[in-house]
Amino acid sequence: SPRVLPDLPGGTLSDGVITLRPLGAGDFEAHLRHRSSPDVYAGAALPLPPSAEEAREVCEWRAAVDWLRGRSALMVIDDGEGYQGTIGLYDVARIVGTGMIGYDLRASVRGRGYATRAVNLVRRWAFREVGLDRVWAGTDLHNTASQAVLRRAGFRLEGVERGGLPTLAGRRRDTLVWAVLSSD
């Protein structure tokens, strides 16, 4: 039977400005440096920096295994100058046709439209190649930049998910839920 998450056509997704490719072993140093930046991990589901061992595992084998198992597809955002961030399709539930997008960019390239481009590339791949019907994303209530990215990529605000994510203090924080349908 076909894999839940197929390979990218030709190994990459590109719009001529950015290219998305699977995260790999050669990305370890850039990935660790990027994911260790407080402004990046603060927006993560659990806002903690990765250990070097965790980042190495993700780059060397875990991202590839998760892709093959159909759990997630983690990609590097490359503008021709190398690693600028990541985007992933997560929580893929093919039986109900849904998946979640998450993304982050280096501070030095924010504002160039890379996140919107990356979201559009993954959204189209999720609908055309993966066969999903609904792609969703969550944002922090105060992350207006990420909310603008999703609006530009055709996502609609669906509402507030009460207690959607944990905090380090052991409480829960609310998030905004956004989604786009293949029929939109």
**Alpha-helical regions (H) of the chain:** 28-35, 38-41, 52-57, 63-69, 114-125, 144-152
pLDDT tier, 119 (very low <50, low <70, confident <90, very high otherwise):
very high
For residue 114, tell me if it sits in a domain.
yes
Residue 104 CA to residue 180 CA, distance in Å, equals: 19
Mean pLDDT of 49-59: 90
For residue 157, tell me if it sits in a domain.
no
For residue 152, tell me if it sits in a domain.
no
Give 16-29 pLDDT, tens digit per residue. 999 999 999 999 99
121: containing domain: 9-135
Q: Give the tokens for residue 13.
A: 């997704």
Strand 98-105 versus strand 134-140 pairing type: parallel
Q: Other CB atoms closer than 10 Å to residue 79's CB: what's the count?
A: 16
CATH code for the domain of 34: 3.40.630.30
For residue 175, tell me if it sits in a domain.
no
For residue 19, tell me if it sits in a domain.
yes
SS3 17: coil
| Count of the separate structural domains present in the chain | 1
For residue 171, tell me if it sits in a domain.
no
For residue 32, tell me if it sits in a domain.
yes
Residue 147 near residue 158 (C-beta atoms within 8 A): no
Give 90-99 pLDDT, tens digit per residue. 999 988 999 9
For residue 26, tell me if it sits in a domain.
yes
pLDDT tier, 45 (very low <50, low <70, confident <90, very high otherwise):
low
pLDDT tier, 13 (very low <50, low <70, confident <90, very high otherwise):
very high
Predicted TM-score (pTM) of this structure: 0.93
The predicted pLDDT at position 1 comes to 63
